[in-house]
Amino acid sequence: MAFIEVENLNKQFIIRKKREKGQLMRPKEEISALREVSFQVNQGELVGYIGPNGAGKSTTVKILSGILTPDSGCVSVDGLVPWADRKAHVRRIGVVFGQRSQLWWDVPIADSFALLKEIYHVPEAAYQARMGELTEALQLGDLMRTPLRLLSLGQRMRAELCGSLLHSPSLLFLDEPTIGLDAVSKLTLREFLQWENRQRGTTILLTTHDMEDITALCSRVMVLGHGRKLYDGELTDLLARYDTERIITARYEEEISGTAWPEGCQIRRNGENWIITYAPKKIPTAEMMARMQQAGHLRECTVQPQNVDRLIARMYQEMEL
């Protein structure tokens, strides 16, 4: 039995539309947030859950964490039904929403952690051991007596992660955990999540629009669109479908001219650099490199895949999301 099992999950919401002139009541509209969504996640997996705004990602996380009840379908998380066995379920999970806090704004974060210890009934010895582990891994030692409101965004997110993991949950939900963070804070957070997943075997479900987070952390991704699961598999396989171009940036020791480039290449000059765009499925990279060496004495050369965000944008466009 898989650690997380979701079968034919459906959830609809009724919203009120803008009232038209002459109408007494605002008309209702039924929105399908999830439609027959099914998937399984094994214990210890780190899975990316992606899709455009309104795809149903947050609705899925809220159902899996027991906040929402689906209209139909079956869900089991480590043998429990999240909304039916909520008290037992929440003791086993951690949740971090990038825009919301579970820590207290005006008190030192150490006091928030102590209160969470009581809420989750964490034994003193286990609490001290886990706090030592987390404060070292998340570099929180010098911040423990600082109120949450005085922390930077990156420090605050590290503190939120610490609070969510104090009771050693077997499952961690992350919803946009790096939103608004600088590059250094993002790298620190990613390294910690990899450590937590590897050392503790914590199952992590990550929903985000930041594709750098996905590519750095997740080998498996699920794509959601219009409430339906559209893809579930390896990230590399998904990107390969849309990664149709390579860009070579080259600089030569001398001017080049009269080179016979393969048909289908796009070549332009940018200062001292030559920018060459080609399709690797039509022109092998080895052939391109051979042609470039024939053109003159290369000083330096880099081959870049397409930007991941552009690949995902193309995927959404082709899927009509």
Paired with 14 in beta bridges are 30
Reported confidence tier of residue 258, pLDDT bands at 50, 70, 90: low
Reported confidence tier of residue 17, pLDDT bands at 50, 70, 90: confident
Q: What is the pLDDT of residues 57-70, one digit of tens each?
A: 989 999 999 999 99
User: What would the mean pLDDT of 126-140 be, rounded to a whole number?
Assistant: 92
CATH code for the domain defined by 244-305: 3.30.70.250
Which pLDDT does position 238 carry in this prediction?
Answer: 83
Distance CA 158, CA 184 (A): 12
Which pLDDT does position 99 carry in this prediction?
Answer: 67
Q: What is the pLDDT of residues 280-289, one digit of tens each?
A: 888 888 888 8
- Of 41, 42, 75, which Cα lies nearest the Cα of 59? 75
Measured at the CA of 170, the angle between CA 183 and CA 210, to 5 degrees, comes to 25
Domain edges within the chain: 4-240, 244-305
How would CATH label the architecture of 4-240? 3-Layer(aba) Sandwich (3.40)
Let me know if the fold of 4-240 is the same as that of 244-305: no
Print burial letters for 259-297: b (CB count within 10 Å at least 16), e (below 16).
Answer: eeeeeeeeeeeeeebbebebebeebeeeebeebbeebbe
Query: Strand, coil or helix: what is 24?
Result: coil
Mean pLDDT (the chain) is: 88
- What is the distance in angstroms between the CA of the first residue and the CA of the last residue of the chain? 32
User: What would the mean pLDDT of 209-234 be, rounded to a whole number?
Assistant: 90
Place of tokens 């796009």: 266
Distance CA 63, CA 70 (A): 7
